[in-house]
Structure 1
Amino acid sequence: MRRLLAAAFLAMLVTGTAGAQDTQAVPYGSWKQLMINGPACLTWREAWEGGTRECANADYEAWLADIRHWRQERRIRIGYDPARYADPRLAWTRTSFVQTQMMVEDRYFYDPVAGRYTVDRYLDDLTARFGGIDAVLLWPDYPNMGIDDRNQLDQVADLPGGLPAVKAMVADFHRRGVRVLLPMMMWDQGTRAPDRPWPQAIAEMAREIGIDGINGDTQDGVPLAFSLAADKAGHPLAFQPEGVLADEAVAWDLMSWGQYTFAPVPKVDRYKWLEPRHMVNISDRWARDKTDDLHYAFFNGVGWEAWENVWGIWNGISARDGEAMRRVATLERGLGPLLSGPDWQPFYPTRAAGVYASRWPGADGRVAWTIVNRNDHPLDQTVLAVPADGTALRYFDLYHGVELTPRREGDQLLLSFPLEAQGFGAVLALPGAPDPAIRGLMARMKALTATDLASLPRGWAPLPQRLVDIPATPPVATAPEGMVEIPAGDFTFRVQGLEIEGGTSAGVDVAYPWEGEARRYHEHRLSLPRFFMDRFPVTNAQFKRFLDASGYHPRDDRNFLKDWKGGTYPAGWDDRPVTWVSQEDARAYAAWAGKRLPHEWEWQYAAQGRDGRRYPWGDTWRDDAAPVPERGRAVRPPDAVGAHPAGASPFGVQDLVGNVWQWTDEYQDGHTRAAILRGGSLYQPQGSIWYFPQAYRNDQHGKLLLMAPSRDRSALVGFRCVKDAD
């Protein structure tokens, strides 16, 4: 018992000692907390909570000394080595203030009709709307990954034109001064295994196409091994983990995302404070108002993620936020060297309640302040007080592009200037006249701020969608060979999209012609005329007859019939569904056959009949009604059609579920094209929730983002046709 008590007492002493050496600004035990609290006196308290007391200079000085001590001690504890920040090849990260995450399927980035990347169109649009970007995170993987066994490296290699075209596209971004990142997904352990260790494979791919950095999707710190592999490959990369990271990783992860919980009083980014040259891009993808993001970024001298196309769901930036972004980015780019200086002083005292400032002194005698007004109302008053120490400094309101005339009060100079509601301010102190760069910055800001932010709209609305028309076929009276009659009837079309993210927000999934906007859950009563549907998906043998008769060959032929050799399918594959065909390929076959692709609701009616059953054969899953799932890392060929007659629908249509996905409708908005896939496939990659979800039930569908035929083709996407009846 004595030994147990002694051990418990020792543990208490050790814990208490460790806590006592930490800061009061970071709660004990939260070594992974992203943000450092400001001075306690800034916390607003209602009268019934004891009220808020005025902050004295001593409060600020004590707080600043506390977090400085924490930083000094923390660097010792983690054995901090800042060498990587001194590498001139990675210095670009310090001024990468505006990074956008861009889905490669975005229609502003790639033109599938012309078959080319349109980097200038994409960048020109961003410049017009919010002042442009410093870096782009190209996103080619999730949410499509898992439709077959192509891994994250394959997803890049399968971009239109392959790696040579990707390299040229990256060069187009570089020509415009934009750095390029790609993501890596260490959760991708269910698709094809790479033939090299992941750090080596990623480093060599990055070197081949010339990108500048890697975003670590879902990673709470990218391990040092990845930086070392990039160094060994002769192509250093900037790594950017998504989430929180251990303090040690700040030495090699030069960038990170900030995914914060915002409070009225800004907080100090932990990693920016540990290393002022560390770049944080605040990511708040679903927010429809970006004020908090921009306030926290400007206060901390960091950047943000201008993310609008969120997995094919458009969350556009409002005119007000776009103009605020333009102004903040213009100021941050102009003050870049100061904002990564070692002597940053957050929470420099202000004379206005709800207004918060950071002071950024430079080695050349210049001093900048970045200021945010968290109030919902404008201000025009004294904001800053600076020492009147005899130094002949001139002060400039950079935000409005004018020089200030300080008013002396005792041993202080008072600086007064207006601040917009929920707006921004910037002051620069110079030991002499502004140089041409500062004069140019002031002129730009004066022109930009002639319009009050409050006058600009900040509303949000989802992009309208358009269903791509499917022309009717010449009608026939009886079922053609291989087709089944689907009788006319009324049925309830009830279906949900299986997007992994987005909740029930407007804009998620698709908007059917009878709906006002895209949404996840759909229900509509339909009355369908009689039509005919293929009993089975189109097979390899049928598709071969089409090719031989028509001479069809797609212009974009990458991955076309990828599993065929020498112009034909493997022996014994006659009755297997044809795959590695794009929606365009399927349409070409259907037109040759005098048929068309089905609308999704036609597919569902043929699968469920009038009784709303969950699966084509009934309400309970049957293992014998569909192929055995493939849960390994490599796909296997689909089963032959007709091999699972127990899976037939009430009308006798077979192979609807669990063998190959089937093309149906296409939807478009201003930025995204997507196809609705039905029926699911036999492939179930394991180990992650992020793979493309299966949709085996009659009331579920998958939404596949479309880019180009070469990329859209898949090992487990096929099709079946319908024909209209007279």
Structure 2
Amino acid sequence: MGAGSALAVHAAEVPAIALRGSQILGPAQQDLGEADWLARLNNWKRDTQGQYPAWLQAMQQWRNSQRAGMAYDDAQYRRPELRWTQRDFVQTQAMVEDRYLYDPATRHYTAKRFLDDLRQRYGGIDSVLLWPVYPNIGIDDRNQWDMLRDMPGGVAGVRGLIRDFHAQGVKVFFPTMPWDTGTRDVGTSMHVATTALMAELGADGINGDTMDGLPLEYRQAADASGRALSLEPELNFRDERMLAYNQQSWGYWAQSLVPMVSKWKWLEPRHMVHVCDRWATDRSTLLQDAFFNGSGIQSWENVWGWWNQLTPRDGEALRRIATIYRAFPEHMVSVAWQPHVQTLHYGVYASAFPLSDSTLWTIINRTDWQISEPVLRLPHQSGQRYFDLWQGRELQPRIVDGAAELSVTLEPHGYGAILRLRAGASMASLPASLQTLAQQARKPLAAYAANWQPLAQQMVAIAPTRAARSAPDGMVEIPAAQFSFKVHGLEIEGENKPGLDVQYPWEAVARRHHLHSLAIRRFYIDRYPVTNAQYLAFVRASGYQPADRHNYLRHWVDGAPRAGDEQRPVVWVSLEDARAYLRWAGKRLPHEWEWQYAAQGTDGRLYPWGNSWDGTMVQAPEQGRSLTAAAVVGQHPQAASPFGVQDLVGSVWQWTSEFADEHTRAAVLRGGSYYQPQNSDWYFPQAYRLDEHGKYLLMAPAKDRAGTMGLRGVQDAAD
């Protein structure tokens, strides 16, 4: 049955529709609360074809009822300055630390390099969600707006980055975090602070992290700021009325053999859902579900520093989907959209997107076999023309009893798309689009690799120092030993996926949990973290001035520590600043295992003083919204390690090893700090135990420096 055909269904036959989160079950699907495997077992054998007319009528009645019940007003979707949201088909979330986005060596943003890579791999994006906050937020008291302003170049630099994206036709979003209530108080409401900063930057949208709909106050504040912003919550709307002013959203969709229908797109076809599964290494079903619904796709790959690149097959499928979307954008938001139109094959599902002079069908093949036979049978009128968009060619239908039978080739778990033009209708852009699609189709999706591989990491080398024969002043000798190095990363998300956390030189892949026996040579380590007085001596003797001075020693006044702070640990120093000091001092950063051995000895203890946590051994934690100073060093000698090293835990975080892959730089931080922002589990986790470490993403000194980040040095020992 084709789009626009009359559906005569008696009222008594109209079934109730079934919802599953933000999705609607298809014809004859059932959701009885059974386990997913049992639902799959039951649903494959149900007659989705015969139930379609009654189901579609029920869907239409339900939509009318829901819209009437919430007094739906589509004014926000008719705003000319926000019409672009309806063509925002492919969005990616990008960590601002991504090395394709910013080059710390030249100190320049590299939006073109970032976009060129995405165009080459999957056809590019329509918008980018730039992410400057989590997982580093909570390392000190900087709030979400502070961390955005701390990006290289500050507000002016970010404005320039946004202009670079706009020049490439890409819209820019930033997140807002409602859970960020433990860091510095911004002094105004969250919606005012966020929308005002977006207007200042010239951004285009706000992504509501963890939010089940951005409240109306965000729309009102955005309009008051003079900047028309798209609102895009991460989660399913808690209130259907939010659909009227949140033009976009994310879709964390359940998957089934029979594809489900987007609830929000069904209620408002112009609403752009970006389907997302950040942890999926096979996105084929996600892409099919999006194409079936005519929905957008979130092509997120850099997930908090874990690189989850689209496989070549998924990337090529996304390229072809996006090519069709961008060539026929008005079809994809058709108010006459009909999901689950009838097809001629089991396991083949289609949606129709009609306009006045043409209709576009998106088709997916859920089966494990290729189909090269008639797929759709449509009412035919003389003069109508048909095109296989996926293959980029015109179709010659078989006309039988006034119906056109259309044959296309669908790969196993593949895609198809058909365009029907009304007699006399013309589309000036169609020949060029067909040419592009035909060129893409020359190589089948099956010819592209579908296997996912984690990205290899390298540990940045630490150059040895001049060897000392005895302990230099202020340092402690650590004897040679065979050390069992056991540690795990405290990333909040990611389970234990390959590629997560770090990859030591002896490991084949990065992973969260690590265990290795190491022969450690004798060395010397600072008894205490480097103090403000020691760092001041370096600055005065060397004249050191970092190229990027933002946040550098921001706790000092007029180039020196405040009176009384001389023996507190120096903070607000980047990894580069720390290395500069240590080179001057004839020292180096400790390898992470050296730091742990100096803190733990050889008995595997959990804390420098033993196996039980004792809060009297460390500085009292700061849990307010404003950062206080770290305690003077040496206040807890009873908490020293077996070798006499002090202030290892609960004082300031300490820089150790750096790791890098093609997209992310990160440093391993040890020891935790005294600062503990409250009210959320999403803040940077503490690592007080000696078998735990933090992974801190690196971008540039301006953003990397922190009010709880210090250092201690190591010097090599002569044999």
Tell me which residue corresponds to 2:5.
none
**Matching of residue 280 in structure 1 with residue 268 in structure 2:** no
Seen in structure 2, the aligned counterparts of structure 1 residues 381 and 171 have a Cα distance that, compared at 3 Å, is same
Tell me which residue corresponds to 1:437.
429
Give the aligned residue type for 1:211. Answer: A
Structure 1 residues 419-428 or 666-675, which shifts more? 419-428
Give the aligned residue type for 1:647. Answer: A
Q: Is the 8 A contact 2:466 2:586 kept in 1?
A: yes
Root mean square deviation, CA, Å:
1.8
C-alpha distance in 1, partners of 2:296/2:558? 52
Structure 1 residue 22: deviation in Å? 11
**Among candidates 374, 390, 398, match of residue 382 of structure 1:** 374
Structure 1 residue 491: deviation in Å? 1.7
Tell me which residue corresponds to 2:122.
130
Tell me which residue corresponds to 1:416.
407
Q: Is the 8 A contact 2:44 2:257 kept in 1?
A: no
**Matching of residue 348 in structure 1 with residue 341 in structure 2:** yes
Correspondence 1:563-582 to 2 at 5 A: 563-582=555-574
Structure 1 residue 51: deviation in Å? 8.7
Tell me which residue corresponds to 2:26.
38
Seen in structure 2, the aligned counterparts of structure 1 residues 484 and 228 have a Cα distance that, compared at 3 Å, is same
Correspondence 1:182-221 to 2 at 5 A: 182-221=174-213
Q: Is the 8 A contact 2:622 2:628 kept in 1?
A: yes
SS in 1 for 2:429: helix
C-alpha distance in 2, partners of 1:341/1:705? 43
Seen in structure 2, the aligned counterparts of structure 1 residues 41 and 463 have a Cα distance that, compared at 3 Å, is closer
Tell me which residue corresponds to 1:118.
110
**Among candidates 379, 391, 395, match of residue 400 of structure 1:** 391
Q: Is the 8 A contact 1:41 1:52 kept in 2?
A: no
Correspondence 1:521-600 to 2 at 5 A: 521-600=513-592
**Among candidates 678, 693, 714, match of residue 722 of structure 1:** 714
Query: C-alpha offsets along residues 551-585 of structure 1, whole Å, 9 cap, x if unaligned?
Result: 00001111100111111111100100000000100
Give the aligned residue type for 1:40. Answer: A
Give the aligned residue type for 2:308. Answer: N
Q: Is the 8 A contact 1:23 1:70 kept in 2?
A: no
Structure 1 residues 536-545 or 521-530, which shifts more? 521-530
Query: C-alpha offsets along residues 181-231 of structure 1, whole Å, 9 cap, x if unaligned?
Result: 000000001101112211111111001111100000001111011011000
SS in 2 for 1:544: helix
**Among candidates 592, 599, 602, match of residue 594 of structure 2:** 602
Seen in structure 2, the aligned counterparts of structure 1 residues 488 and 97 have a Cα distance that, compared at 3 Å, is same
Percent identical across equivalent pairs? 51
Q: Is the 8 A contact 2:265 2:273 kept in 1?
A: yes
Structure 1 residue 625: deviation in Å? 1.0
Q: Is the 8 A contact 2:29 2:258 kept in 1?
A: no
Structure 1 residue 466: deviation in Å? 0.6
Structure 1 residue 598: deviation in Å? 0.4
C-alpha distance in 2, partners of 1:138/1:23? 44
C-alpha distance in 2, partners of 1:587/1:334? 52
Structure 1 residues 416-425 or 276-285, which shifts more? 416-425
SS in 2 for 1:169: helix
Give the aligned residue type for 2:311. Answer: S
Give the aligned residue type for 2:73. Answer: D
Tell me which residue corresponds to 1:477.
469
Structure 1 residue 52: deviation in Å? 3.3
Structure 2, unaligned stretches of length 5 or more?
A: 1-11, 32-36
Alignment coverage as a number of residue pairs: 700
Tell me which residue corresponds to 1:268.
261
Correspondence 1:436-455 to 2 at 5 A: 436-455=428-447
Give the aligned residue type for 1:306. Answer: S
Give the aligned residue type for 2:28. Answer: A
Structure 1 residue 504: deviation in Å? 1.0
Seen in structure 2, the aligned counterparts of structure 1 residues 465 and 45 have a Cα distance that, compared at 3 Å, is closer
**Matching of residue 680 in structure 1 with residue 672 in structure 2:** yes
Seen in structure 2, the aligned counterparts of structure 1 residues 367 and 681 have a Cα distance that, compared at 3 Å, is same
Tell me which residue corresponds to 1:360.
353
Seen in structure 2, the aligned counterparts of structure 1 residues 256 and 50 have a Cα distance that, compared at 3 Å, is closer
C-alpha distance in 2, partners of 1:710/1:673? 15
Q: Is the 8 A contact 1:676 1:701 kept in 2?
A: yes
Tell me which residue corresponds to 1:254.
247
Structure 1 residue 290: deviation in Å? 1.0
C-alpha distance in 2, partners of 1:493/1:161? 40
TM-score, normalised on structure 1? 0.94
Tell me which residue corresponds to 2:301.
308
**Matching of residue 503 in structure 1 with residue 523 in structure 2:** no
C-alpha distance in 2, partners of 1:54/1:617? 68
SS in 2 for 1:436: coil
C-alpha distance in 1, partners of 2:42/2:312? 39
Query: C-alpha offsets along residues 87-136 of structure 1, whole Å, 9 cap, x if unaligned?
Result: 11111111111100000000000000000100000000000010000000
Structure 1 residue 436: deviation in Å? 2.8
**Matching of residue 427 in structure 1 with residue 418 in structure 2:** yes
Q: Is the 8 A contact 2:15 2:54 kept in 1?
A: no
Structure 1 residue 420: deviation in Å? 1.5
C-alpha distance in 1, partners of 2:456/2:43? 51
Tell me which residue corresponds to 1:8.
none
**Among candidates 80, 89, 97, match of residue 89 of structure 2:** 97
**Matching of residue 327 in structure 1 with residue 315 in structure 2:** no
Give the aligned residue type for 1:396. Answer: F
Structure 1 residue 411: deviation in Å? 3.2
SS in 2 for 1:40: coil
Structure 1 residues 556-565 or 169-178, which shifts more? 556-565
Give the aligned residue type for 2:527. Answer: R
Seen in structure 2, the aligned counterparts of structure 1 residues 53 and 662 have a Cα distance that, compared at 3 Å, is closer
Seen in structure 2, the aligned counterparts of structure 1 residues 48 and 688 have a Cα distance that, compared at 3 Å, is closer
Q: Is the 8 A contact 2:159 2:202 kept in 1?
A: yes
**Among candidates 334, 356, 362, match of residue 370 of structure 1:** 362
Q: Is the 8 A contact 2:30 2:39 kept in 1?
A: no
Structure 1 residue 49: deviation in Å? 6.7
Q: Is the 8 A contact 2:72 2:244 kept in 1?
A: yes
Q: Is the 8 A contact 1:22 1:70 kept in 2?
A: no
Q: Is the 8 A contact 2:27 2:49 kept in 1?
A: no
Seen in structure 2, the aligned counterparts of structure 1 residues 219 and 605 have a Cα distance that, compared at 3 Å, is same
Give the aligned residue type for 1:420. Answer: E
**Among candidates 608, 622, 636, match of residue 616 of structure 1:** 608
C-alpha distance in 1, partners of 2:159/2:647? 41
Tell me which residue corresponds to 2:9.
none
Q: Once superposed, which parts of structure 1, at least 4 consecutive aligned residues long, lie more than 3 Å away? A: 20-23, 41-57
Structure 1 residue 152: deviation in Å? 0.5
Seen in structure 2, the aligned counterparts of structure 1 residues 50 and 472 have a Cα distance that, compared at 3 Å, is closer
Give the aligned residue type for 2:184. Answer: R
C-alpha distance in 1, partners of 2:318/2:415? 11
C-alpha distance in 1, partners of 2:477/2:456? 35
